[in-house]
Amino acid sequence: MLLCARDGQLQSFTETILFVEDEAFVREVAGEVLRSAGYRVLLARSAEEGLKTYLERGEQFDMLLTDVVLPGESGPALAHKLRLENPALKILLITGYIEKMRNGMEGEAEECLPKPFSAESLLQRVRRVLDEREKSAGRAFKHAAGSV
């Protein structure tokens, strides 16, 4: 297990993440990076599969990590559906199409992580979103392109 340094202490994280990504390589590698940090990760290949997984397990998820472009329904559309089920669900979008995100596709997400991303930037961004305590009524999309 990968232990992360945080506030001068080594930590392993325990939250549960639903990760929806259609690219097998990205899904498997990023899933393993998250698991190595202690997160419980359930993988899905599409929004439909992600919704089914979520509904089977209910509010046991702390975060939805999803690609924007998926076969069938989009990641933001899935995020919207899951937010209706659980308004406290943290959402982090990933995309290779960051310009579209800047132009209004952000929808429900707290943040967006541009592809390609490093293991370190993935772990940092996931932790930052999970640690966000206050939710404002009009959640603002925070774009942090490049390194974190």
For the stretch 5-49, pLDDT in tens is 444 444 568 899 999 999 999 999 999 999 999 999 999 999 999
- Chain centroid, CA 71 distance in Å: 17
Torsion of CA 115, 92, 12, 117, to 10 degrees: 10
Q: Is residue 44 part of a domain?
A: yes
Give this prediction's pTM: 0.79
Residue 146 covered by a domain: no
Whether 72 maps to a domain, the answer reads: yes
Residue 97 domain-assigned?
yes
Whole domain around residue 39: which residue ranges? 10-131
In a domain, 139, yes or no: no
Query: Is there a domain that residue 137 lies in?
Result: no
In a domain, 143, yes or no: no
Report the number of distinct structural domains present in the chain.
1
* Residue 4 maps to a domain: no
Q: What is the pLDDT of residues 122-146, one digit of tens each?
A: 999 999 999 985 443 334 444 444 4
Q: How many whole angstroms separate alpha carbon 30 and alpha carbon 126?
A: 11
